[in-house]
Chain A
């Protein structure tokens, strides 16, 4: 077993698949080996004077020393973020759609050169932090200038938790009423059913004798029948 490698989802990078249905798998493998060779990849990238513009498949070409050909300014963020924040599927948080909307709006503004990347990131971060209810705004120009990316953390004081708290507070009065006026009398009745009590002398524990009396009570059948007649119109006579 080798070292534990994080699962990483890559996108925007070329790949060379070898199909299982391939007629000439040997030839295809040779072609792939050729395509990922360092010099061939370097040709795909081009040179500083004549850039071709492909993103290199081999990371070493982009991060290595010799690859100061024309590194895209943010290539480090791109590769580092793959390892630092490996993407894996998670259920979308509650605020996801709103965060996504804000983020995409600023990304397109940045891509359209309407604002600088730094300004866009800061504004997006501020707006997203407002949505999430956090107050952890970064110090301007500090973290971002070094090439870090904005990290959204769901802190203690998130929207979800605040909404849950509000819901609980709304339910609380009714729940207290239910507790004192419905639930506790029901429990009291359950306890009392094992006692004999005339309200004036202390209750005496009599075990199941009340339930035994219930079985042999002809009045009980009468009152149930009467109630059924009133409720359901089931007449017996």
Chain B
């Protein structure tokens, strides 16, 4: 299957959420107009408030090969018109993008709060010393945002590994089980094959997995998280 861009370069939904959220939050913070800032913040946060099932249903329509606008505009750009949810690669990319679209507002709002906590004097001092905008971003914004980023990574990973509703509505785990997630497997084991005991065991394995992952993150956080 060739789609031009290998999936690995797309990154998972966690990196898209964090990096995309950081970029958008920084741009919003730069904005001169206060009301534009409020407007954008609200707009980006809105999908986060909507039920995941509703979001997935809407995107299911948008991705529909006959009715959806996504294929229509991709077709105008010369991309072949296929059912994106019938190809393993495209189905994954669709799920990642829909999940990111839904959750990025949360990252933006938390990053905006973190940005407002950075003292102006640091930027002024750096400006006097002749630091460029890019240097100020990498040497002031990024290190001082590290506690915010750490929070978002921890919470984001805990939530991301329990991803269920969007892929369930979009693909039901297909095609060929390529998008069947852990929680979907637990749900099917328990409520379609009625093997409650085994479903409980799998969910415990997920619990242990997430707990260890979170513990490791806290252990290595000392190397890159700076508290003022």
Seen from chain A, the residues whose Cβ lies within 8 Å of a Cβ on chain B are 186, 188-190, 192-200, 203, 206, 210-211, 213-214, 219-220, 222-224, 226-235
Contacts and interface: CB of A to CB of B under 8 A. Distances in A.
A203 B197 contact: yes
B215 interface: no
Given A194-B197, A234-B8, 19 more contacts: A186-B207, A188-B200, A190-B200, A195-B196, A196-B195, A196-B197, A206-B197, A223-B182, A223-B185, A226-B179, A227-B161, A227-B163, A227-B181, A228-B12, A230-B13, A230-B92, A230-B96, A231-B14, A235-B7
A223 B187 CA distance: 12
A213 B200 CA distance: 12
Nearest to A212: B201
A227 B177 CA distance: 11
A229 B92 CA distance: 8
A160 B205 CA distance: 43
Contacts of B200: 188-190, 192-193, 210
Interface string B178-218: 11111011000000001111101111110101000000000
User: What does DSSP make chain A's interface, helix, strand, loop or mixed?
Assistant: helix
B6 interface: yes
Interface of B: 6-8, 10-15, 92, 95-96, 99, 157, 160-161, 163, 167, 177-182, 184-185, 194-198, 200-205, 207, 209
A188 B205 CA distance: 14
Nearest to B6: A235
Contact of B204 (A193, A196, A199): A193
B180 A222 contact: yes
A233 B194 contact: no
A99 B102 CA distance: 53
A230 B99 contact: yes
